[in-house]
Amino acid sequence: MRLAIIAVGALLASAATAEAQSCYDLWYQRNAIFKSAGYCFRTRQAIAEFGNAGCQYDDERDVPLSVRARQRVESLRAQERRYGCR
């Protein structure tokens, strides 16, 4: 679990320093945060990209993310909405 928290922190740091350039970048950054915290993906695209090995949480609300990680996820979602991503 500690390793997952460290990984989330590293993702947040790298994501915060570089502005995403595409809908895919935003999607990937958001889902990488969930993957590192144990989320079980449901969509074909996410499963193909990240897999579900070692996943523990079926509901995004149950994934143990820090306040900062949740804020980053919401920021990425807001950008996706602004860009009209699907």
Question: How many domains in the chain?
Answer: 1
Q: Is the pLDDT of residue 22 over 50?
A: yes
User: In this predicted model, what pLDDT tens digit does every residue of 33-53 receive, in sequence order?
Assistant: 999 999 999 999 999 999 999
Between 21 and 28, the more confident residue is 28
b/e sequence 43-66, b meaning 16+ C-beta within 10 Å: eeebeeebeeeebeeeeeeebebe
Between 18 and 45, the more confident residue is 45
Task: For residues 69 and 33, give the distance between their C-alpha atoms in angstroms, rounded to a whole number.
Answer: 7
Which residues span the domain enclosing 50?
Answer: 2-83
Confidence (pTM) = 0.76
- In terms of phi and psi (left: phi > 0; alpha: psi -120 to 50; beta: otherwise), the region of 65 is beta
Task: For residues 53 and 57, give the distance between their C-alpha atoms in angstroms, rounded to a whole number.
Answer: 12
Average pLDDT in the chain: 87
- pLDDT of amino acid 10: 56
